[in-house]
C-alpha cells in the first residue's frame, strides 16, 4: 500500500475513531490520528501475536489504535485540567 493508501485508511480510521470516542476534530487531525493510530495499533497487535491481513484488518487496526490514542490524549488533558 502506498502513501495515498495510508492517507485514505488514516482518514477513514480517524473519522471512525472520532465518532466512536464522541470527539469533534477536522479532516487533517483525523488523518494524523488515523495514521498514528495505525502505527500504535499495529505495534500493539504485533506484541500479542496478531499478524497483519488485508485492508479491512489494516483499517480495524488503525481504528483500534486511533481510539486508544484519543483515549490517552483525553486522559492527559483531563488530568492536566485538574
Contact between residue 32 and residue 5 where contact means Cβ atoms under 8 Å apart: no
d(CA 42, CA 52): 8
pLDDT tens, residue by residue, 2-49: 778 878 888 899 999 999 999 888 888 888 998 898 888 888 888 888
d(CA 67, CA 14): 8
* This prediction's pTM: 0.83
Amino acid at each position: 500500500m502506498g502513501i495515498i493508501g495510508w492517507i485514505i485508511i488514516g482518514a477513514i480510521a480517524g473519522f471512525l475513531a472520532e465518532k466512536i470516542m464522541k470527539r469533534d476534530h477536522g479532516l487533517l487531525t483525523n488523518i494524523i490520528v488515523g495514521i498514528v493510530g495505525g502505527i500504535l495499533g499495529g505495534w500493539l497487535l504485533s506484541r500479542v501475536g496478531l499478524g497483519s491481513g488485508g485492508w479491512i484488518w489494516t483499517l480495524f487496526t488503525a481504528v483500534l489504535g486511533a481510539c486508544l490514542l484519543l483515549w490517552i490524549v483525553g486522559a492527559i488533558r483531563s488530568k492536566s485540567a485538574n
